[in-house]
Amino acid sequence: MKTQDKREEIISIGTELIIINGYNATGIDAVLKKAGMPKGSFYHYFGSKEAFGLAVIDSFADHYEVKLRSFFNDEELPPLRRIRNYLENGLECLAENQCTKGCLIGNLGQELADQNERFRARLEMIFREWKQQVATCLEEAQQKGDWISDADPGVIADFILSGWEGAILRAKVMRSPESLQNFINTLFATVLSVE
Amino acid sequence: MKTQDKREEIISIGTELIIINGYNATGIDAVLKKAGMPKGSFYHYFGSKEAFGLAVIDSFADHYEVKLRSFFNDEELPPLRRIRNYLENGLECLAENQCTKGCLIGNLGQELADQNERFRARLEMIFREWKQQVATCLEEAQQKGDWISDADPGVIADFILSGWEGAILRAKVMRSPESLQNFINTLFATVLSVE
């Protein structure tokens, strides 16, 4: 296996363990055991557990950015439909996992925002990027007349992001996608209503 | 100190440590050290760390229930105003803490829903109770003509609870109450609009 591939495999296994157990409860030993690599490998690729955690976040954010763009930049569809498709796809993904795991960024934000300023700042940056993507799509909806509203797209994007993160958390606790479905239905019947 | 007082002091210190560090990272030793009690005390009051964690949740939920009732049952105010007052009070409390800590039930849901079925079930019950309180207040708003809407109060209560939990999480990560203010403003300008 090439050096880059090994690093990516450690990150991939780490992501899977961290999303289930959290950052603090995920030991480096467990990650390496699952990867079938000796402990020396870890410090060859990452200077510390913190550097590893930040690499997991960056890798997840990079992949997720591609996913978001594939939904939000889909010029074939009206902007509000793109947002709805993104949320409905999220609901399907969570339902497939029996509503376990949740959102890695939300999970780590909850766990680490008060404990580690480096993590908090990185997670804040990711939330800002996500919000910007939604806001841009909402702005396009206003410009195209797809959504007749003089609301501030940034404020509504913030509202949507909060509601979605909260619905994911509640789906995880309730072990049911009902809150996700309620969120989507209510959002499009009220805040993003086109009637 | 009386037996009951000692137990309550351990719970109170545990609540403070768990809301900051999470359940897994909160050691019994740290709780007892802060309480100035010997280790034997702990097992006199709680059979296990899990029993202690559940007692912390129950104690928090009991106190919070009183707080919710004081807002939602305030007959002097129109029902929607009661909900707004509750949310604005929450914003103030979080802002006072520089948006750290967040919501104990949301934090523990994020951390433990996938790890421990007993915790998950208890947290689910609390979320159900909170949702019911909001739903009852919304129903009263409809009956009194305070809120002209044929929406299902249970669905809207679910939407509000998700949005609020998510806004608390985002406030914690962004270290700013902006998401909480956006949530309140947008909710009352759209979903709960009385225009």
- Could you say which residues of chain A have pLDDT below 70? 1, 195
pLDDT exceeds cutoff 70 at B195 = no
Q: How much is the average pLDDT of B149-160?
A: 97
Q: Do A159 and B155 touch (CB under 8 A)?
A: no
Residue B71: which residues within 8 A CB-CB, separation 6 or more? B82, B83, B85, B86, B89
Burial of B10 (0-12, 13-18, 19+ CB in 10 A): buried
Q: How much is the average pLDDT of B84-89?
A: 98
Query: Which of chain A's residues have a Cβ under 8 Å away from the Cβ of B113?
Result: 100, 102, 172-173, 175
- Spatial separation of the C-alpha atoms in residues A171 and A4, rounded to whole Å: 36
Q: How much is the average pLDDT of B123-141?
A: 98
Q: Do B173 and A113 touch (CB under 8 A)?
A: yes
Closest C-alpha among A59, A14, A17 to residue A41 = A14
Query: Which of chain B's residues have a Cβ under 8 Å away from the Cβ of A147?
Result: none
**Chain A: residue whose CA lies nearest to B125:** A174
Query: Which of chain A's residues have a Cβ under 8 Å away from the Cβ of B191?
Result: 186, 190-191
pLDDT exceeds cutoff 90 at B4 = no
Q: Do A22 and B22 touch (CB under 8 A)?
A: yes
Query: Which of chain A's residues have a Cβ under 8 Å away from the Cβ of B131?
Result: none
**Chain B: residue whose CA lies nearest to A149:** B190
Q: Do A186 and B159 touch (CB under 8 A)?
A: yes
Mean per-residue pLDDT of chain B: 95
Query: Is the distance from CB of A82 to CB of A137 less than 8 angstroms?
Result: yes
Q: How much is the average pLDDT of B102-109?
A: 96
- Spatial separation of the C-alpha atoms in residues B46 and B27, rounded to whole Å: 14
Give residue for tokens 């914003």. B91
Distance from CA of B117 to the nearest CA of A (A): 10
- Spatial separation of the C-alpha atoms in residues A3 and A26, rounded to whole Å: 23
Distance from CA of B61 to the nearest CA of A (A): 15
- Spatial separation of the C-alpha atoms in residues A141 and A191, rounded to whole Å: 13
Helix H or strand E encompassing B188: helix B178-189
Q: How much is the average pLDDT of B68-85?
A: 97
- Spatial separation of the C-alpha atoms in residues B147 and B28, rounded to whole Å: 48
Distance of CA A34 to the CA centre of its chain: 24
Query: Is the distance from CB of A181 to CB of B162 less than 8 angstroms?
Result: no
- Spatial separation of the C-alpha atoms in residues A108 and B43, rounded to whole Å: 32
Please give the pLDDT value at position A164: 98
- The 10s digit of each residue's pLDDT in B155-186 is 999 999 999 999 999 999 999 999 999 999 99
Does the structure's ipTM exceed the value 0.90? yes
